[in-house]
Amino acid sequence: MGKKVALHNLGCKVNAYETEAMQQLLEEAGYEIVPFEPGADIYVINTCTVTNIADRKSRQMLHRAKKMNPQAIVAAAGCYAQTDQERLMEDGTVDIILGNNQKKDLVRILGEYEQKRDKTAHVIAIGQTKEYEALSIQRTAEHVRAFIKVQDGCSQFCTYCIIPYARGRVRSRDIRDVLKEVRSLAEAGYREAVLTGIHLSSYGKDFSGEKKETLLSLIQAVHEVEGIQRIRLGSLEPGIITEEFVRGIHELKKVCPHFHLSLQSGCDNTLRRMNRRYLSGEYQEKCDLLRKYYGNPALTTDVIVGFPGETEEDFRISRQFVADIRFYETHIFKYSRRKGTKAAAMPDQLTEAVKEERSRKMLELHQQRSREYEEGLLGKNLEVLLEEKEEISGETWYVGHTREYVKAAVPETENVRINDIVSVTAHSFVGDHILRGEIRRRGLPDPLSGVCL
C-alpha cells in the first residue's frame, strides 16, 4: 500500500481542476488518496491568494494539516505559494512550496523531499514563462459535468487584482490536448463540458500566427465531440462578445444559453479606477447582443461593492445599472484590500460598515431578479440534465440543471436515472430556486444528428 495523501482545494474552478489533476498523478504513482483528516502521511493544499482573507485561509489550512499529523509532509501549492514564498519558507509547518506551473512535477518533488528531507521551494518567475502547464484529468468529482481547463494567466492588470502576479501572462492550451481530454471524458460518460480558464476570453491570443486558434474555434471543435451534449462557458469578458462571436456560438446547438459576463461595477467612474477597459454603455450593448440571438439567456455576473473612492452616488448608479440589465444571478463581493495591488494604495478606502450595507442592498436586488427569472420559466419546456438524488420536504427527487443553469427536479417515481437528459415542463417550485418539472419525454434529439437519444 502506498503512502496516504490528503488533498484540499481553495479557490476557483481552475484550482479545483488542478487539484483533481494532481490527485490523479498521485494515484498513478501508487499513492493512496484519503480524506483531509488526521492520519495522512502527506497533505497537499492548493492555495488561493485572490484576497488577503484567501491568504489567511491558506495559511490556516496548512497549519491545520500539520496539527492533524505533525510527522506528515505538508505541501503548499498554487497561487499563495507563488506570491508569498518568503513567508512560507519561514513557516515551520510547510515542507514543500510548489508554485504555479510546477504542479505537474508534484510526484517527483515529493520523492526528492522524502530522500533528502530538506525544505524546498519550487517557484518560477511566473510572469516570464510562456509555457502552459501540462495537466489533464480522466475523471472529475462531478457525476455528469466536467470542468476542463483550457487557459491560464491574465494580462489585464485590473487595479484590485493580484492574479496576473500569481498566474502570469496569458497561456493557452493546445487545442489537440483539449480535444483529447474532452473525448476521454465523453467516453467516460460525461454529458456536459465546461470550458474554463483564468481569463478564458484570451484563449489563443498567445499562439503564434500559424495556429490562429480562438475561443470560438475551440468551442466549434469541442462541439464536434461525440457524446458531449452540452457546452458551457466559464467567465467571459465583455470584449469577446462581438456579432461574429455570438453568431458563431448561436449556430452551435450544444452551447448553453447561460453566460457569465464579468461586470464588477455599473458606474463608469469606478470602472475607470478599476482599469476594466470598458464602460457601462458598452457592457449593456454586449448583453443586448446576447439577447438578440438567444432571447432570454441566463446572464450572470460579478459585482464589487465598496471599491476605494466609490461614493453613494457611484453605488446608486451601479445598483441601478445592475437592476436595469436584469441578471439572473449577481455574485456580490465586498472590496477586499489586497496588498501588492494598485487599489490597495488608493485614497478613500471605505469602512467595513459601508461595504456591508452596500452588499446587503445589492444582495436584495439579486434575490429579486433571480426569482423573477426563475418564475419566467414556469410553463416553459426545458431540458434538464439529471445530476443527483436529493431529499426535499420529505420526498425524493432527481435534481439537475436546465440549459440556463437553473435547478430543476422531477419525482423519484419517474423512470429516470442520473445522467439522463429529459424534457420537462416547469409548473411550480419544490424548494428555494428549484423548479418542479413534469416530464414530457425522456430522450432528446442529438443536436447534430437529430436522432433521439
What percentage of the chain exceeds 70 in pLDDT?
Answer: 97
Provide the pLDDT for residue 216: 98
- With a cut of 80, say whether residue 453 has pLDDT above it: no
Provide the pLDDT for residue 446: 45
Provide the pLDDT for residue 431: 86
DSSP state of 30: T
Q: Are 102 and 78 in contact (CB under 8 A)?
A: no
Rounded to 5°, the CA angle 215-283-272 comes to 105
Provide the pLDDT for residue 448: 40
Cell numbers describing residue 290: 446576447
Range 119-136 burial, b when 16+ CB lie within 10 A, else e? ebbbbeebeebeebbebb
Which parts of 282-328 are beta strand (E)?
Answer: 298-305
Beta bridge pairs of residue 6: 43
Provide the pLDDT for residue 1: 55
Q: Are 362 and 323 in contact (CB under 8 A)?
A: no
Provide the pLDDT for residue 212: 86
What are phi and psi for residue 10, nearest 5 degrees? -125, 140
Provide the pLDDT for residue 371: 97
pLDDT tens per residue across span 222-240: 999 999 999 999 999 999 9
- With a cut of 60, say whether residue 449 has pLDDT above it: no
pLDDT tens per residue across span 5-60: 999 999 999 999 999 999 999 999 999 999 999 999 999 999 999 998 999 999 99
Three-class secondary structure of residue 351 per DSSP: coil
pLDDT tens per residue across span 123-148: 999 999 999 999 999 998 888 999 99
pLDDT tens per residue across span 383-428: 999 999 999 988 999 999 999 999 999 998 878 999 999 999 999 9
The DSSP-derived string for 320-334 is HHHHHHT-SEEEEEE
- With a cut of 80, say whether residue 92 has pLDDT above it: yes
CA distances from 314 to 49, 306, 311, 319, 371 (A): 28, 10, 5, 9, 26
Beta bridge pairs of residue 47: 78
Q: Rounded to an integer, what distance in angstroms lies between the CA atom of residue 247 and that of residue 292?
A: 10
Note the pTM of the prediction, 2 decimals: 0.93
> Which domains can be identified in the chain, with CATH numbers?
4-124 (3.40.50.12160), 145-375 (3.80.30.20), 381-441 (2.40.50)
- With a cut of 80, say whether residue 210 has pLDDT above it: no
DSSP state of 239: G
Mean pLDDT of all residues in 270-299:
98
Q: Are 199 and 155 in contact (CB under 8 A)?
A: yes
Provide the pLDDT for residue 442: 53
Mean confidence (pLDDT) of the chain: 94
DSSP state of 240: G
Element (H, E) at 221: helix 215-223
Beta strands 42-47 and 32-33: pairing type?
unpaired
- With a cut of 90, say whether residue 209 has pLDDT above it: no
Q: Helix-strand-coil percent breakdown of the chain, rounded to 5?
A: 35, 25, 40
